[in-house]
Chain A
Amino acid sequence: MNEKEINDGMQQAQNIFNLKDDFSLIKAFNEGEETAFNDLVNRHKEKVRNLIYLNLGSTSSIDDISQEVFLAVYRKLKQFRFQSQFTTWLYTITINKIRDHIRKQKIMSVFSAFSSDDTENVVEPGSFKENFDVNEMVRDAVAKLPRKLKEPLILRDFEGMSYQEISDATGIETGTVKSRIFRARESLKKMLQPWREELL
């Protein structure tokens, strides 16, 4: 780590310590302070990466998609209107990028015999070994959920977003969010039924 990186790191830590909120960082960036963007990224990058990971159930595309997400943020930040939480806006972009990726994967699968993402992450209950990793199994089970159910469930249980925020981020009604989360849980419960005792 060179001196510049150390200094940058210290500056980031100080910003976080100073509890600069997202809006302040965005304003600072829009006023020309490039490091404010790095602070924003540092603050939210892991949430974005995990959100992508849980939605795709694969680590292969996390880096590419998360970079696309923050590149979009970088380019659109001047258009941010401060009318919603930055995280809501950020997750909206993330969800859209994930959807774009899945769409591209579907198109790619037309031209290839195998779809790596699909084949690598298929979860078959009977295929687990006795010394299975529970966490990994749950993650795989979540990944197996239909996209429409998976997105609100992850945003709720993993990111801790309210139904309204999920509605804003995904563009669906709160009533629908509520219904989909319920259906996602019911589906997940069925998928994890063989290990009910261990998990539930």
Chain B
Amino acid sequence: MKKFDKDFENISAMADGELREDQEAIYREKMQNSPAFKEKFNEYNKLKKTVESIPKLPEDHYFVSRLNEYIKKENKKTSGLRPFYKPAFGLVALTVVLMSFFKLSPEFMDDLFETQKGNIIDFYTKNLRPYFQEDELTKDDIFNFAFSQVLPIDGSGQNVISLDESGSGASIAIRQSSFGDSIMSLKEFTEKLDLDKTQQLKLNNVLKKYEDKIRGSILVNDNNTVAVNANLWNYNMALKAEILAIAAENETFAKVMPAGLMESMPAFASIDFADNEDSFVCINPDTVFVTSIRVNTHDPSYNIPVVNKVNILKNTQVKLAPSKQKYGGFHGKLGDSSKTKKFRVFVDTNFIKFDIPDFAFETKMPTLMELERIDSLVELSMKNFNFEMRNFPDGRGFSFDMKFDSLGLPGHDKMIEFKFDTTDGFNFDMNFPGKDSGKFKIVVPKNPDVYKNFKGLEGLDSLMIFKFNGKDTVFNFNMPFQNFDGEFKEFNEEMKKFREEMKKFREDFKPTKPKNKKDKKPVVI
């Protein structure tokens, strides 16, 4: 059958005149010998003629006119572009338009992003209100904050906000409290300065004024954001200055105040923080940033407590902790050149510490340098350190008086007591008296042979044990006691070192005993 098909196919082609001459000759011969082939050839020719004879459509005389109209219409519609190119042309045109737009308006995208950022910031900073409720901060807390720079943020005092200084400048930390956090007593301050009622009232007003500022500086909201005003550092310095200004009204205290500081005291009270009071470092589990926040203190919701505010801090620490160190961004007003600046933030599961960004900390403190001298005030006073050595007549013992100028405190003539006990080595106890403590006293050992083992006071510092003992602070020294003679010069030098150690007490007049003795552990100095 296939063979026949092939033959018939060739016969069909022959009817079309499409066979090569040699093939055609073959098939013409076959047709002569085969009526079937001949019949096929005739059949195909008839079919050809039948198809060829199909009448054509009547001529369309207006086809060209309609076609021209159609072409005009299509050209107008597509502007010479094939439909295929329309999407591509659209994309190209759109790209060109956008590029031109961004070229001419380069700030558009920045503005757009800033707007979006603004929306996010609005969410995070919505309904911020004071972390501390009214009356939650006591006068003691404020007074203590002035000098110890620590503010308890929970009832147990386990967590604090503290002002720190890092290599890069001022910083603020939210952390657990530590033994190093000294505690200042407003009561003792008042008593030692012997403030009269007017002065006490003045002091209370200062504390109240800064209580409001501190309350307004640490904000929190239900969106897990904690906002800390960068001015907290400034408030602290100004608060300290204003308290010292009241202290300076005490004549004795004033004597030891640096003259420049005394002159600049009024300036502290008149510092205007308003220009920069709205710069807040905002911390939440998602991000850390600085932005301007204006809190309406007259809003009825301003004093509504935030539930679980301590947990908010804790959760924030935990969620931010994996990054350990990150950079906060500044989200200022549009066009603010500082918006690209960043500041460092250190985070762990139990603390957050961030550098106060310079760009958010621009309040001018005209007496800042003088304020630093306050810190050296105690140091200056401590240098009025009298030391007089007296040998016992038989040359086998000694005694000395040590007198600390007590910074003009009432009863400054009171001595700090040292006690020797040489019955077993060289035991040296120094007793800082409480308010009613007595004079310096030395206990002379009855058996002078113990001095033979005295080897001097080398390593005194490293052997000194500092601990809190009852109401008073006691230093215990334990060291071998040999070759006592001729060692007093060295002892003198060691005492100078000791004076340096005493600078640790310059934190405003006198270290007080801790509120909770159990919390305090010995610290090796």
Contact = CB atoms under 8 A, between A and B. Distances in A.
A16 interface: no
Contacts of A199: 46, 50
Contacts of B93: none
Contacts of A200: 43, 46-47, 50
A46 B12 contact: no
B66 A63 contact: yes
Contacts of A45: 60, 63-64, 67
Contacts of B71: 70-71, 74
Contacts of B66: 63, 67
Interface in A110-144: 135, 138-139, 142
B13 interface: yes
Given A63-B66, A74-B71, A153-B51, A178 B9 contact: yes
Contact of B64 (A38, A63, A158, A182): A38
Interface in A31-68: 38, 41-42, 45-46, 49-50, 53-54, 59, 62-63, 66-67
Interface residues of B, number: 32
B302 interface: no
B59 A179 contact: no
A182 B67 contact: no
Interface residues on A, range: 35 or more
A66 B16 contact: no
Interface in B402-421: none
Interface in A55-90: 59, 62-63, 66-67, 70-71, 74-75
B63 A182 contact: no
B465 to A, nearest CB: 96
Contacts of B44: 185
Nearest to A163: B18
B52 A189 contact: no
A158 B9 CA distance: 19
Contacts of A41: 63-64, 67
A158 B52 contact: yes
A54 B54 contact: yes
Residue with the greatest number of chain A CB neighbours at <10 A, chosen from B13, B59, B67:
B67
Nearest to A133: B55
B54 A178 contact: no
Interface in B155-207: none
B500 interface: no
Contacts of A189: 43, 47
Contacts, number: 92
A157 B56 CA distance: 13
Contacts of A62: 57
A157 B67 contact: no
Given A41-B67, A200-B47, A200-B50, A46 B9 contact: no
Contacts of B51: 138, 142, 153-154, 157-158, 188
Given A46-B57, A181-B12, A200-B43, A67 B67 contact: yes
B520 interface: no
Given A49-B60, A71-B71, A162 B50 contact: no
B33 interface: no
Interface in B347-394: none
B67 A46 contact: no
Residue with the greatest number of chain B CB neighbours at <10 A, chosen from A139, A153, A182:
A182
B48 interface: yes
Contacts of B308: none
A156 interface: yes
Contacts of B56: 46, 50
Given A49-B57, A157-B51, A66 B8 contact: no
B249 to A, nearest CB: 98
Contacts of B74: 71
Contacts of B54: 54, 135, 138-139, 142, 158
Interface in B30-77: 43-44, 46-48, 50-57, 59-60, 63-68, 70-71, 74
Contacts of A142: 51, 54
15 contacts: A38-B68, A41-B64, A45-B60, A46-B56, A49-B57, A54-B54, A70-B71, A75-B82, A178-B13, A182-B12, A188-B51, A189-B43, A189-B47, A192-B50, A200-B47
Given A38-B68, A42-B64, A178-B12, 9 more contacts: A54-B54, A67-B67, A70-B71, A142-B51, A157-B51, A181-B13, A185-B12, A189-B43, A200-B43
